[in-house]
Amino acid sequence: QVQLQESGPGLVKPSETLSLTCTVSGGSISSYYWNWIRQPPGKGLEWIGYIYYSGSTKYNPSLKSRVTLSVDTSKNQFSLKLTSVTAADTAIYYCARGDSSGYNAYWGQGTLVTVSS
Amino acid sequence: DIQMTQSPSSLSASVGDRVTITCRASQGINHYLAWFQQRPGKAPKSLIYAASSLQSGVPSKFSGSGSGTDFTLTISSLQPEDFATYYCQQYNAYPLTFGGGTKVEIK
């Protein structure tokens, strides 16, 4: 059974860059689409983007100017960078595995990132 | 973007009740609709994909139906572990979008 685990700083200062990594275990990172989704505390879910194992990406237009996704197949990891963060970026960030249809069946447990000085 | 509208936003029900949640898409999404369950403090868990296919390991008391713009999730007999928030999500087009959620509470 594939498992995903997010990691990274839980506190980021305004205007700085949020960086998170998702480590995939129990399966190869190859042949799947690797997604980031976030959820502000007490609110709904927002899809951030995906990176295919080959490196191709697709981003939510609402965040596209600030988001960069990358993948390291040798480590079975993929990463998220979100620049120029504000308090509105405070959220639980989830990584998820998607198939070619776009369905995300497997999710990590999530990590809370707070943007505050 | 495709807007997903869930109703109701919350409901109260008793153990053993049959519960139905509705999700409407702002444009046709074929059958590219998933349902997720989120318990407090936990990550969303996939229940249904392709509108009506049960994710492996999910009990058969959960069922989904619909196509095009209108979809439903039904829980046949509510149990204590089913009290949670449920989200629909379309994956017919990017960006992927979610409904606002339906919170199922104990009556």
**Which residue out of A1, A60, A104 would a mutagenesis test of the B interface target, given it has the greatest number of B Cβ atoms within 10 Å?**
A104
Q: Does B34 reach chain A within 8 Å, measured CB to CB?
A: yes
Q: What is the CA radius of gyration of chain B?
A: 13
| B84 neighbors B104 (Cβ within 8 angstroms) | yes
- B80 three-class SS: helix
pLDDT category of residue A32 using cuts at 50, 70 and 90: very high
Each residue's pLDDT tens digit, A72-117: 999 999 999 999 999 999 999 999 999 999 999 999 999 999 999 9
**Residue A2 structure tokens:** 């594939």
- B48 three-class SS: strand
Residue B103, pLDDT score: 98
Q: Does A112 reach chain B within 8 Å, measured CB to CB?
A: no
**Residue B106 structure tokens:** 């104990």
Q: Does A62 reach chain B within 8 Å, measured CB to CB?
A: yes
Closest-CA distance of chain B to residue A45, Å = 6
Could you give the dihedral angle defined by the CA atoms of residues A42, A43, A47 and A53, in that order, rounded to the nearest 10 degrees?
Answer: 10
In chain A, which residue's Cα lies nearest the Cα of B46? A105
Kindly state the helix (H) or strand (E) to which residue B20 belongs, with its residue range.
strand B19-25
Residue A85, pLDDT score: 98
